[in-house]
Structure 1
Amino acid sequence: MYIPEAFEESRELELTRVIEQFPLGSLSYCVNGRIDAIHIPFEYVPSARGGLLRAHVSRANPIWKALANGAEVLVVFRSEDAYVSPNWYPSKHEFHRQVPTWNYQVVHVRGHFRAIDDEKVVRGIVARLTRSNEARVQETKPWKMSDSAADYIDALLKEIVAIEIEITQTIGITKASQNKDDRDRQSVAENMQRVGKCEMSRIVAHAKNAQGTPRS
Protein backbone atom coordinates (compact mmCIF):
# COMPACT_ATOMS: atom_id res chain seq x y z
CA MET A 1 0.00 0.00 0.00
CA TYR A 2 1.32 3.44 -0.94
CA ILE A 3 1.36 5.64 2.17
CA PRO A 4 2.27 9.33 1.87
CA GLU A 5 4.34 10.32 4.88
CA ALA A 6 1.81 12.89 6.10
CA PHE A 7 -0.90 10.23 6.34
CA GLU A 8 1.02 7.28 7.78
CA GLU A 9 -0.78 5.76 10.77
CA SER A 10 1.84 4.29 13.10
CA ARG A 11 0.01 4.45 16.43
CA GLU A 12 -0.51 0.86 17.57
CA LEU A 13 -3.53 1.76 19.68
CA GLU A 14 -5.21 3.47 16.72
CA LEU A 15 -4.50 0.55 14.39
CA THR A 16 -6.00 -1.81 16.95
CA ARG A 17 -8.99 0.50 17.50
CA VAL A 18 -9.86 0.39 13.80
CA ILE A 19 -9.68 -3.42 13.69
CA GLU A 20 -11.81 -3.81 16.81
CA GLN A 21 -14.40 -1.12 16.03
CA PHE A 22 -14.72 -2.03 12.33
CA PRO A 23 -14.27 -5.82 12.46
CA LEU A 24 -15.78 -6.59 9.03
CA GLY A 25 -12.58 -7.22 7.11
CA SER A 26 -12.01 -7.79 3.39
CA LEU A 27 -9.85 -10.90 3.16
CA SER A 28 -7.93 -11.04 -0.14
CA TYR A 29 -6.16 -14.18 -1.29
CA CYS A 30 -4.83 -15.89 -4.41
CA VAL A 31 -5.54 -19.47 -5.51
CA ASN A 32 -4.23 -20.86 -8.82
CA GLY A 33 -3.34 -17.37 -10.02
CA ARG A 34 -6.83 -15.98 -9.39
CA ILE A 35 -7.24 -13.14 -6.89
CA ASP A 36 -10.45 -13.14 -4.86
CA ALA A 37 -11.83 -11.72 -1.63
CA ILE A 38 -14.41 -12.47 1.03
CA HIS A 39 -15.89 -10.16 3.65
CA ILE A 40 -16.20 -11.50 7.20
CA PRO A 41 -16.03 -10.17 10.78
CA PHE A 42 -12.79 -10.88 12.62
CA GLU A 43 -11.76 -11.26 16.23
CA TYR A 44 -8.39 -9.64 17.00
CA VAL A 45 -6.20 -11.52 19.48
CA PRO A 46 -3.08 -9.58 20.57
CA SER A 47 0.15 -11.43 21.24
CA ALA A 48 3.84 -10.73 21.66
CA ARG A 49 4.47 -12.17 18.17
CA GLY A 50 2.18 -9.72 16.39
CA GLY A 51 -1.26 -11.08 17.09
CA LEU A 52 -3.90 -13.20 15.41
CA LEU A 53 -7.09 -12.63 13.47
CA ARG A 54 -9.77 -15.28 13.93
CA ALA A 55 -13.04 -15.75 12.09
CA HIS A 56 -15.30 -18.41 10.64
CA VAL A 57 -16.59 -19.21 7.17
CA SER A 58 -19.33 -21.39 5.78
CA ARG A 59 -18.26 -24.98 5.22
CA ALA A 60 -19.63 -24.47 1.69
CA ASN A 61 -17.09 -21.67 1.10
CA PRO A 62 -14.17 -23.23 -0.84
CA ILE A 63 -11.55 -20.95 0.70
CA TRP A 64 -10.79 -23.17 3.68
CA LYS A 65 -9.86 -26.09 1.42
CA ALA A 66 -8.51 -24.23 -1.61
CA LEU A 67 -6.11 -21.99 0.32
CA ALA A 68 -3.09 -23.82 1.70
CA ASN A 69 -2.23 -23.45 5.34
CA GLY A 70 0.57 -20.90 5.62
CA ALA A 71 -0.51 -19.00 2.51
CA GLU A 72 -0.04 -15.23 2.66
CA VAL A 73 -3.26 -13.21 2.79
CA LEU A 74 -4.25 -9.58 3.17
CA VAL A 75 -7.11 -8.30 5.31
CA VAL A 76 -8.32 -4.70 4.88
CA PHE A 77 -10.26 -2.98 7.65
CA ARG A 78 -12.01 0.20 6.56
CA SER A 79 -12.90 2.84 9.14
CA GLU A 80 -14.60 6.18 8.40
CA ASP A 81 -14.43 8.10 5.15
CA ALA A 82 -15.86 11.34 3.77
CA TYR A 83 -15.73 13.54 0.68
CA VAL A 84 -14.05 16.93 1.12
CA SER A 85 -15.33 19.87 -0.92
CA PRO A 86 -12.87 22.60 -1.91
CA ASN A 87 -15.49 25.11 -0.74
CA TRP A 88 -14.82 23.99 2.83
CA TYR A 89 -11.32 25.54 2.77
CA PRO A 90 -11.20 29.24 3.70
CA SER A 91 -8.02 29.50 1.64
CA LYS A 92 -9.92 28.43 -1.49
CA HIS A 93 -11.98 31.60 -1.40
CA GLU A 94 -8.82 33.71 -1.22
CA PHE A 95 -6.47 31.96 -3.61
CA HIS A 96 -8.69 29.56 -5.65
CA ARG A 97 -6.06 26.83 -5.51
CA GLN A 98 -7.87 23.87 -3.91
CA VAL A 99 -9.47 20.74 -5.39
CA PRO A 100 -11.79 18.00 -4.09
CA THR A 101 -10.36 15.08 -2.13
CA TRP A 102 -11.45 12.23 0.11
CA ASN A 103 -10.51 11.65 3.74
CA TYR A 104 -10.45 8.08 5.03
CA GLN A 105 -8.91 5.64 7.47
CA VAL A 106 -7.90 2.06 6.63
CA VAL A 107 -5.71 -0.66 8.13
CA HIS A 108 -4.01 -3.41 6.12
CA VAL A 109 -3.06 -6.63 7.89
CA ARG A 110 -0.84 -9.24 6.24
CA GLY A 111 -0.44 -12.71 7.64
CA HIS A 112 -0.42 -16.45 7.18
CA PHE A 113 -3.68 -18.33 6.77
CA ARG A 114 -4.77 -21.48 8.58
CA ALA A 115 -8.07 -23.37 8.50
CA ILE A 116 -9.21 -25.09 11.71
CA ASP A 117 -11.99 -27.67 11.37
CA ASP A 118 -12.62 -28.08 15.08
CA GLU A 119 -16.05 -27.59 16.69
CA LYS A 120 -14.63 -26.40 20.01
CA VAL A 121 -12.54 -23.70 18.31
CA VAL A 122 -15.47 -22.64 16.13
CA ARG A 123 -17.78 -22.41 19.16
CA GLY A 124 -15.29 -20.20 21.00
CA ILE A 125 -14.87 -17.82 18.06
CA VAL A 126 -18.63 -17.49 17.55
CA ALA A 127 -19.19 -16.90 21.27
CA ARG A 128 -16.54 -14.18 21.51
CA LEU A 129 -17.65 -12.40 18.32
CA THR A 130 -21.22 -12.49 19.59
CA ARG A 131 -20.30 -11.02 22.97
CA SER A 132 -18.22 -8.19 21.54
CA ASN A 133 -20.76 -7.19 18.90
CA GLU A 134 -23.85 -7.57 21.08
CA ALA A 135 -22.16 -5.19 23.53
CA ARG A 136 -22.22 -2.52 20.81
CA VAL A 137 -25.96 -2.65 20.18
CA GLN A 138 -27.70 -3.93 23.30
CA GLU A 139 -27.74 -1.89 26.50
CA THR A 140 -29.47 -4.65 28.46
CA LYS A 141 -29.75 -8.42 28.10
CA PRO A 142 -27.56 -8.97 25.02
CA TRP A 143 -28.26 -12.09 22.97
CA LYS A 144 -26.06 -15.11 23.74
CA MET A 145 -25.75 -18.52 22.16
CA SER A 146 -27.56 -20.23 25.03
CA ASP A 147 -30.67 -18.19 24.21
CA SER A 148 -31.26 -20.58 21.30
CA ALA A 149 -31.99 -24.28 21.53
CA ALA A 150 -28.78 -26.27 21.99
CA ASP A 151 -29.50 -28.67 19.12
CA TYR A 152 -30.16 -25.71 16.79
CA ILE A 153 -26.78 -24.09 17.65
CA ASP A 154 -24.98 -27.44 17.43
CA ALA A 155 -26.36 -28.01 13.92
CA LEU A 156 -25.31 -24.54 12.75
CA LEU A 157 -21.80 -24.90 14.19
CA LYS A 158 -21.32 -28.04 12.09
CA GLU A 159 -21.83 -25.87 9.00
CA ILE A 160 -18.92 -23.50 9.64
CA VAL A 161 -15.12 -23.76 9.82
CA ALA A 162 -12.70 -21.60 11.79
CA ILE A 163 -9.91 -19.66 10.11
CA GLU A 164 -6.91 -18.03 11.74
CA ILE A 165 -4.41 -15.53 10.39
CA GLU A 166 -1.04 -15.14 12.08
CA ILE A 167 -0.23 -11.47 11.64
CA THR A 168 3.11 -10.57 10.09
CA GLN A 169 2.53 -6.88 9.31
CA THR A 170 0.03 -4.18 10.21
CA ILE A 171 0.08 -0.79 8.46
CA GLY A 172 -2.45 1.98 8.17
CA ILE A 173 -3.45 5.30 6.67
CA THR A 174 -5.29 8.10 8.42
CA LYS A 175 -5.94 10.71 5.73
CA ALA A 176 -7.49 13.54 7.70
CA SER A 177 -6.41 16.80 6.06
CA GLN A 178 -3.02 16.75 7.81
CA ASN A 179 -1.51 18.40 4.73
CA LYS A 180 -3.71 21.49 5.22
CA ASP A 181 -3.15 24.47 7.50
CA ASP A 182 -5.00 24.77 10.80
CA ARG A 183 -7.87 26.95 9.62
CA ASP A 184 -8.57 24.80 6.57
CA ARG A 185 -8.47 21.62 8.64
CA GLN A 186 -10.72 23.09 11.31
CA SER A 187 -13.22 24.13 8.65
CA VAL A 188 -13.17 20.60 7.19
CA ALA A 189 -13.94 19.16 10.63
CA GLU A 190 -16.81 21.61 11.15
CA ASN A 191 -18.33 20.91 7.74
CA MET A 192 -18.07 17.15 8.21
CA GLN A 193 -19.94 17.57 11.48
CA ARG A 194 -22.57 19.61 9.61
CA VAL A 195 -23.20 16.91 6.99
CA GLY A 196 -23.38 14.11 9.56
CA LYS A 197 -19.87 12.68 9.21
CA CYS A 198 -19.33 13.04 12.94
CA GLU A 199 -16.69 10.36 13.48
CA MET A 200 -14.59 11.53 10.53
CA SER A 201 -14.98 15.06 11.87
CA ARG A 202 -13.54 13.89 15.19
CA ILE A 203 -10.60 12.21 13.45
CA VAL A 204 -9.83 15.36 11.44
CA ALA A 205 -10.15 17.56 14.51
CA HIS A 206 -7.60 15.48 16.42
CA ALA A 207 -5.18 14.92 13.54
CA LYS A 208 -1.74 16.48 13.40
CA ASN A 209 -0.66 18.52 10.44
CA ALA A 210 2.15 17.42 8.15
CA GLN A 211 4.68 19.10 10.46
CA GLY A 212 3.40 17.12 13.45
CA THR A 213 1.61 19.99 15.17
CA PRO A 214 -1.81 19.17 16.68
CA ARG A 215 -4.62 21.59 15.92
CA SER A 216 -5.29 23.83 18.91
Structure 2
Amino acid sequence: LTIRRGERLGLGGLGLLMGAIAITIAVEKPHALMFALSIILGGFTLRSLRRSPYFQTWWHRYGPIFLPSPPAPPGHLESGTPLHSAAGTAPRTPPRILVATRGNPGLLRFAVEEARNRQAELLVLFVRQLAVIPMGSVTTPNWTEDEEAQALFKEARTLAQPMGIVVRPLYAVTHDVAEAILELAVTYGVDLLILGVSQRGRLDRLMKGDVIQQVAQYLPERITLLIHA
Protein backbone atom coordinates (compact mmCIF):
# COMPACT_ATOMS: atom_id res chain seq x y z
CA LEU A 1 0.00 0.00 0.00
CA THR A 2 1.21 3.51 -0.80
CA ILE A 3 1.93 5.66 2.25
CA ARG A 4 1.73 9.41 1.76
CA ARG A 5 4.23 11.80 3.31
CA GLY A 6 1.78 13.05 5.92
CA GLU A 7 1.02 9.49 6.96
CA ARG A 8 4.73 8.72 7.22
CA LEU A 9 5.20 11.74 9.51
CA GLY A 10 2.24 10.62 11.58
CA LEU A 11 3.64 7.10 11.91
CA GLY A 12 7.02 8.54 12.82
CA GLY A 13 5.48 10.68 15.55
CA LEU A 14 3.54 7.69 16.84
CA GLY A 15 6.77 5.69 16.91
CA LEU A 16 8.50 8.38 18.98
CA LEU A 17 5.56 8.47 21.38
CA MET A 18 5.57 4.69 21.78
CA GLY A 19 9.33 4.78 22.32
CA ALA A 20 8.94 7.37 25.08
CA ILE A 21 6.24 5.24 26.72
CA ALA A 22 8.49 2.16 26.52
CA ILE A 23 11.37 4.02 28.17
CA THR A 24 9.06 5.26 30.93
CA ILE A 25 7.81 1.73 31.59
CA ALA A 26 11.38 0.40 31.62
CA VAL A 27 12.34 2.92 34.29
CA GLU A 28 9.19 2.83 36.41
CA LYS A 29 8.02 -0.78 35.91
CA PRO A 30 10.99 -3.08 35.18
CA HIS A 31 8.87 -6.19 35.84
CA ALA A 32 6.34 -5.08 33.22
CA LEU A 33 9.20 -4.54 30.78
CA MET A 34 10.51 -8.07 31.37
CA PHE A 35 7.02 -9.48 30.82
CA ALA A 36 6.60 -7.58 27.54
CA LEU A 37 10.03 -8.68 26.31
CA SER A 38 9.25 -12.30 27.14
CA ILE A 39 6.00 -12.09 25.14
CA ILE A 40 7.82 -10.57 22.15
CA LEU A 41 10.62 -13.14 22.35
CA GLY A 42 8.08 -15.96 22.57
CA GLY A 43 6.25 -14.63 19.53
CA PHE A 44 9.41 -14.46 17.43
CA THR A 45 10.36 -17.96 18.58
CA LEU A 46 6.99 -19.39 17.54
CA ARG A 47 7.23 -17.56 14.21
CA SER A 48 10.67 -19.05 13.55
CA LEU A 49 9.46 -22.54 14.43
CA ARG A 50 6.41 -22.13 12.21
CA ARG A 51 8.56 -21.17 9.22
CA SER A 52 11.11 -23.92 9.78
CA PRO A 53 11.32 -26.79 7.26
CA TYR A 54 10.51 -29.27 10.05
CA PHE A 55 7.17 -27.57 10.73
CA GLN A 56 6.39 -27.34 7.00
CA THR A 57 7.03 -31.06 6.63
CA TRP A 58 4.89 -31.86 9.68
CA TRP A 59 2.09 -29.58 8.46
CA HIS A 60 2.09 -31.19 5.05
CA ARG A 61 1.74 -34.65 6.61
CA TYR A 62 -0.73 -33.96 9.42
CA GLY A 63 -2.28 -30.56 8.64
CA PRO A 64 -5.19 -31.98 6.58
CA ILE A 65 -6.20 -34.05 9.62
CA PHE A 66 -6.97 -30.90 11.61
CA LEU A 67 -8.26 -28.66 8.83
CA PRO A 68 -11.36 -29.08 6.65
CA SER A 69 -10.97 -29.26 2.90
CA PRO A 70 -9.99 -25.89 1.40
CA PRO A 71 -13.03 -23.86 0.33
CA ALA A 72 -13.56 -22.96 -3.29
CA PRO A 73 -11.40 -19.93 -4.10
CA PRO A 74 -13.14 -16.58 -4.60
CA GLY A 75 -14.24 -15.85 -8.13
CA HIS A 76 -13.77 -19.47 -9.19
CA LEU A 77 -12.99 -19.51 -12.91
CA GLU A 78 -13.39 -22.91 -14.45
CA SER A 79 -12.72 -23.83 -18.05
CA GLY A 80 -12.49 -27.38 -19.30
CA THR A 81 -13.46 -30.59 -17.54
CA PRO A 82 -11.65 -32.77 -14.99
CA LEU A 83 -9.48 -35.58 -16.28
CA HIS A 84 -10.84 -39.13 -16.11
CA SER A 85 -9.27 -42.53 -15.88
CA ALA A 86 -8.84 -44.77 -18.91
CA ALA A 87 -11.93 -46.74 -17.91
CA GLY A 88 -13.94 -43.52 -17.89
CA THR A 89 -15.67 -44.35 -14.62
CA ALA A 90 -13.73 -42.78 -11.76
CA PRO A 91 -12.17 -39.32 -12.03
CA ARG A 92 -8.52 -39.00 -11.15
CA THR A 93 -7.03 -35.95 -9.51
CA PRO A 94 -4.95 -33.94 -11.99
CA PRO A 95 -1.65 -32.45 -10.85
CA ARG A 96 -1.80 -28.92 -9.52
CA ILE A 97 0.39 -26.00 -10.51
CA LEU A 98 0.53 -22.79 -8.49
CA VAL A 99 1.85 -19.60 -10.07
CA ALA A 100 2.26 -16.47 -7.97
CA THR A 101 2.31 -13.25 -9.95
CA ARG A 102 1.16 -9.64 -9.82
CA GLY A 103 0.45 -9.60 -13.55
CA ASN A 104 3.65 -10.64 -15.33
CA PRO A 105 2.26 -11.67 -18.76
CA GLY A 106 5.31 -13.76 -19.69
CA LEU A 107 5.16 -15.69 -16.42
CA LEU A 108 1.42 -16.26 -16.77
CA ARG A 109 1.77 -17.58 -20.33
CA PHE A 110 4.58 -19.86 -19.21
CA ALA A 111 2.43 -21.24 -16.39
CA VAL A 112 -0.47 -21.88 -18.76
CA GLU A 113 1.85 -23.75 -21.14
CA GLU A 114 3.16 -25.86 -18.26
CA ALA A 115 -0.41 -26.66 -17.19
CA ARG A 116 -1.26 -27.74 -20.73
CA ASN A 117 1.85 -29.89 -21.10
CA ARG A 118 1.29 -31.57 -17.73
CA GLN A 119 -2.52 -31.72 -18.08
CA ALA A 120 -2.66 -29.95 -14.74
CA GLU A 121 -5.01 -27.68 -12.86
CA LEU A 122 -3.66 -24.12 -12.63
CA LEU A 123 -3.92 -22.05 -9.44
CA VAL A 124 -3.21 -18.36 -10.07
CA LEU A 125 -2.22 -16.47 -6.92
CA PHE A 126 -2.28 -12.69 -6.60
CA VAL A 127 -0.65 -11.41 -3.39
CA ARG A 128 -1.40 -7.87 -2.25
CA GLN A 129 1.47 -6.92 0.06
CA LEU A 130 0.79 -4.54 2.93
CA ALA A 131 3.52 -2.03 3.72
CA VAL A 132 2.33 -1.90 7.34
CA ILE A 133 0.18 -4.22 9.43
CA PRO A 134 -3.31 -2.65 9.68
CA MET A 135 -4.59 -1.91 13.18
CA GLY A 136 -8.04 -1.13 14.47
CA SER A 137 -10.92 -0.96 12.02
CA VAL A 138 -8.81 -0.38 8.90
CA THR A 139 -10.35 -2.14 5.90
CA THR A 140 -7.95 -4.47 4.10
CA PRO A 141 -8.08 -4.81 0.30
CA ASN A 142 -10.69 -7.15 -1.14
CA TRP A 143 -10.29 -9.13 -4.35
CA THR A 144 -13.64 -7.89 -5.65
CA GLU A 145 -12.35 -4.30 -5.46
CA ASP A 146 -8.78 -4.97 -6.61
CA GLU A 147 -8.57 -4.04 -10.30
CA GLU A 148 -5.08 -5.53 -10.71
CA ALA A 149 -6.22 -8.88 -9.36
CA GLN A 150 -9.37 -8.84 -11.48
CA ALA A 151 -7.31 -8.12 -14.60
CA LEU A 152 -4.91 -10.96 -13.76
CA PHE A 153 -7.69 -13.50 -13.25
CA LYS A 154 -9.41 -12.40 -16.46
CA GLU A 155 -6.17 -12.77 -18.43
CA ALA A 156 -5.59 -16.21 -16.93
CA ARG A 157 -9.05 -17.33 -18.01
CA THR A 158 -8.54 -15.89 -21.49
CA LEU A 159 -5.28 -17.81 -21.95
CA ALA A 160 -6.43 -21.07 -20.38
CA GLN A 161 -9.96 -21.44 -21.73
CA PRO A 162 -9.00 -22.33 -25.34
CA MET A 163 -6.71 -25.06 -23.98
CA GLY A 164 -9.34 -26.58 -21.69
CA ILE A 165 -7.35 -25.84 -18.54
CA VAL A 166 -9.07 -25.50 -15.17
CA VAL A 167 -8.04 -22.20 -13.55
CA ARG A 168 -8.58 -21.36 -9.87
CA PRO A 169 -7.82 -17.78 -8.79
CA LEU A 170 -6.40 -17.23 -5.31
CA TYR A 171 -6.08 -13.87 -3.54
CA ALA A 172 -4.05 -13.08 -0.43
CA VAL A 173 -3.43 -9.91 1.56
CA THR A 174 -0.33 -10.07 3.75
CA HIS A 175 2.85 -8.32 4.80
CA ASP A 176 4.86 -11.53 4.26
CA VAL A 177 4.59 -12.65 0.62
CA ALA A 178 6.79 -15.73 0.99
CA GLU A 179 4.79 -17.02 3.95
CA ALA A 180 1.50 -16.60 2.07
CA ILE A 181 2.85 -18.50 -0.94
CA LEU A 182 4.14 -21.33 1.25
CA GLU A 183 0.87 -21.66 3.17
CA LEU A 184 -1.28 -21.81 0.04
CA ALA A 185 1.10 -24.20 -1.73
CA VAL A 186 0.86 -26.63 1.20
CA THR A 187 -2.86 -26.10 1.87
CA TYR A 188 -3.88 -26.77 -1.73
CA GLY A 189 -1.42 -29.64 -2.16
CA VAL A 190 0.27 -28.33 -5.30
CA ASP A 191 2.84 -30.39 -7.17
CA LEU A 192 4.64 -27.54 -8.92
CA LEU A 193 5.22 -23.95 -7.81
CA ILE A 194 6.19 -21.37 -10.44
CA LEU A 195 7.74 -18.05 -9.46
CA GLY A 196 9.18 -15.26 -11.57
CA VAL A 197 12.46 -13.47 -11.00
CA SER A 198 11.78 -10.18 -9.23
CA GLN A 199 12.53 -6.94 -11.06
CA ARG A 200 13.02 -5.04 -7.80
CA GLY A 201 16.36 -3.48 -6.97
CA ARG A 202 18.88 -5.00 -4.60
CA LEU A 203 18.10 -2.48 -1.83
CA ASP A 204 14.37 -3.17 -2.09
CA ARG A 205 14.97 -6.92 -1.86
CA LEU A 206 17.24 -6.35 1.13
CA MET A 207 14.55 -4.33 2.93
CA LYS A 208 11.56 -6.55 2.08
CA GLY A 209 13.35 -9.86 1.67
CA ASP A 210 14.00 -12.08 -1.32
CA VAL A 211 10.75 -14.00 -1.83
CA ILE A 212 12.26 -16.74 -4.01
CA GLN A 213 15.06 -17.41 -1.53
CA GLN A 214 12.66 -17.60 1.42
CA VAL A 215 10.23 -19.86 -0.42
CA ALA A 216 13.01 -22.17 -1.62
CA GLN A 217 14.35 -22.47 1.93
CA TYR A 218 11.08 -23.66 3.49
CA LEU A 219 9.22 -25.30 0.60
CA PRO A 220 8.44 -29.01 1.29
CA GLU A 221 10.57 -31.41 -0.73
CA ARG A 222 7.59 -32.96 -2.50
CA ILE A 223 6.77 -29.62 -4.19
CA THR A 224 8.92 -28.75 -7.20
CA LEU A 225 10.00 -25.12 -7.50
CA LEU A 226 10.37 -23.73 -11.02
CA ILE A 227 11.88 -20.27 -11.52
CA HIS A 228 10.99 -18.38 -14.70
CA ALA A 229 13.47 -15.67 -15.67
- Tell me which protein shows more strand as a share of its residues: 1
Shorter chain as denominator, the TM-score bin is: under 0.3
What is the TM-score when the length of structure 2 is the normalising length?
0.26
- Tell me which protein shows more helix as a share of its residues: 2
